[in-house]
Amino acid sequence: MNKVRITLACTAVLTGAANANLIVNGSFEQSSLNPGGAWSVLGGGDTSIDGWTTVGGGIDYFGTIITASEGIHSIDLNNVSAGGGIAQTFATTVGWIYTVEFDMSANMYGGPTPKVLRVHAAGDAEDFEFDYVAAGATAADPAWERMTWSFTATGSSTNLWFEGISGGVYGAALDNVVVTGVAPTPGTLAGFGALGLLVSRRRRG
């Protein structure tokens, strides 16, 4: 009976981790700034958007000038040039696999196309493209596309970083970031099993 309870408890832990969004303010709605119908320019190292820190050349924080995918705010990962971005650090478990989901569009007021962003975490990275011309994206209907990426955690905390790598002022747009734990690797599962067996043996003794 004790072994069953331990197994159920471990399953509950895994399920909870898989379902919870680990990102704070993933839609960029909470901020001390109010861009209104325009945008606010944020340089690198800015923490005005709750939970996030801008990096590199910074970002543009959109109000309603472009329709957000969720809420009323989104961001342009380019500020005055490529190399801007935004980052957040959150707790992770070594060996666990995490899924990063986000909506991508573009600041379509100027080229180039496609817009490109790079997502970084745990020493890994991947580029994502959005061709706003082919998508027919407009400010009223940015044709947001849901993107997915995964990484395996290498530490007790992970820094997730979105970087704009398109040239020019008009960059990739980002909104609705969600990070969830998918599943532990086989080695981590084995660790849970060993823990359950150890506790069960101790209780029998």
Residue 149: pLDDT above 60? Answer: yes
Token duo for residue 116: 């490109």
Three-class secondary structure of residue 177 per DSSP: strand
Three-class secondary structure of residue 157 per DSSP: strand
The pLDDT-based confidence of 81 (bands split at 50, 70, 90) is confident
- How far, in Å, CA of 105 to CA of 113, rounded? 11
pLDDT in tens, 167-199: 889 999 999 999 999 777 565 555 544 444 433
Q: What is the mean pLDDT of the chain?
A: 86
User: How much is the pLDDT for 160?
Assistant: 98
- How far, in Å, CA of 122 to CA of 174, rounded? 20
The set of residues, in sequence order, having a beta carbon less than 8 Å from that of 154 and lying 6+ positions away, is 94, 122, 123
Residue 5: pLDDT above 50? Answer: no
pLDDT in tens, 32-61: 999 999 999 999 999 999 999 999 999 999
Q: State the Rg of the chain over Cα.
A: 20
Token duo for residue 187: 């080695």
Token duo for residue 166: 């398109």
CATH fold of 2-192 = Jelly Rolls (2.60.120)
- How far, in Å, CA of 173 to CA of 161, rounded? 14
- How far, in Å, CA of 149 to CA of 99, rounded? 6
pTM for the model: 0.82
- How far, in Å, CA of 31 to CA of 77, rounded? 17
The pLDDT-based confidence of 8 (bands split at 50, 70, 90) is very low
Sketch the domain layout of the chain as residue ranges: 2-192
